[in-house]
Chains A and B, each alone.
Chain A
């Protein structure tokens, strides 16, 4: 049986089909773009795998070797040579500090990849947290004659100076990573600006700005991928696994925030993090340590 349709119906049907076609095409284009990218990543990941073992040597074995050697030196010092202890101890400390930092990133990445990185919220004094991180990097900064300036804009209106509800360990690692990168990519005797404030929506902003090498637009795309490190040419000097920013991004997302990067080659880099204030119900219900009690009654569906 043939059904007659009016011109109007025909037109409508046609326009629907055209629309569907357009969406399908759009989707296809999107998919093939993605496929291309994934392909490139696959190639890269092959070469990264082979780098990994040599990385482990550089990043773990070498610092341990120097820690062992330096402490050996201290042990064999004679009593009248004790003034030499301090510089040796400083070297040991900086090697151990680096090692500790790299390991923290590895453990963090492993937890994130295992799906076990649950945030634990508590009221955190942000300015003293940032100050303590900066303090831990003083020695490293001094070696490059870098000045780290910290500016905390307190906003009494929102009354959140001492108690921003967030996960202090995770925020600490986020700031450490940003600061570590700034120091790494700064040229000697430059400065680094760290600032933090609570905006009018109550969200926490942390900005770390350096005036160093900057990031090329090619590198910007891969910035947050794991095992990616900037500026291949300085590879041998470029310590770390390239995990820091991927951990940073995952942590920021976990806290429902955003990372924004502004940078041009040669003009330094600015990393800005915004963490929304978890709303009161979230803080009470969803983010409490012992888990979110969601109340159900008998009228709710059960599966």
Chain B
């Protein structure tokens, strides 16, 4: 077992570190994007719940468009170089009927990751998205590797 400091990432938050960290998170219909610069060994992760901010509430990384922008911004601030950065994306499972009216929320979250990352010309090196199960992931910020485990229960809500 690696003896690295662990960081549990909550939904609507993001975390970037040039230090070695294991970033953990739990995903249902949410999507987490792991960005990694293999040269400077800087890694970061976001965890967004909805695709686009529509002016409601605060402009927080709860929304994909903001989460991706802020994560990249923070990576660059920590010294990562944009042309080195690669992405790995996870989550976006199908949510069983909930009280809110969003439909296909998982799929929309995944679509947004694809379109934004391709617009930013950040290559997606690995991906495990969709399906009906939740996921636990652990991102190693020094090696850029991500371990993933399916959670054997249906997603109620993120």
What is A's interface to B at a CB cutoff of 8 Å?
27, 34, 37-38, 41-42, 44-45, 109, 112-119, 224-226, 246-247, 249-250, 253-254, 286-288, 290-294, 296, 300-303
How many residue pairs, one in A and one in B, have C-beta atoms under 8 Å apart? 112
A115 CA to B126 CA, complexed, in Å: 24
Whether, in the assembled complex, B39 has its beta carbon less than 8 Å from a beta carbon of chain A, the answer is: no
A226's nearest neighbour on chain B, judged by CB, is B58
11 A-B pairs with C-beta separation under 8 A: A34-B54, A38-B55, A109-B58, A113-B60, A116-B13, A116-B14, A225-B56, A286-B26, A291-B7, A294-B149, A303-B145
Q: Is the CB of A291 within 8 A of B57?
A: no
B7's nearest neighbour on chain A, judged by CB, is A291
Q: Is the CB of B54 within 8 A of A113?
A: no
Residues of A with C-beta under 8 A to B132: none
Task: Beyond A225-B55, A301-B147, list 11 extra A-B contacts (CB 8 Å).
Answer: A109-B58, A112-B58, A115-B12, A115-B13, A250-B57, A291-B8, A292-B6, A292-B8, A294-B26, A303-B88, A303-B128
Q: Is the CB of B88 within 8 A of A226?
A: no
A290 CA to B70 CA, complexed, in Å: 24
A74–chain B nearest beta-carbon distance, Å: 39
Q: Number of contacting residues on B, CB 8 A?
A: 42
Q: Which of B50-106 contact A (CB under 8 A)?
A: 54-62, 66-67, 70-71, 88, 90, 103
With A291-B24, A301-B147 known as contacts, the answer to whether A42 contacts B55 (CB < 8 A) is: yes
What is B's interface to A at a CB cutoff of 8 Å?
5-15, 22, 24, 26, 46, 54-62, 66-67, 70-71, 88, 90, 103, 125-128, 136, 138, 145-149
Most buried by A among B8, B58, B145: B58
Residues of A with C-beta under 8 A to B26: 286, 294
B5–chain A nearest beta-carbon distance, Å: 7
A275–chain B nearest beta-carbon distance, Å: 14
A288 CA to B5 CA, complexed, in Å: 13
Residues of A with C-beta under 8 A to B60: 112-113, 115, 117, 250
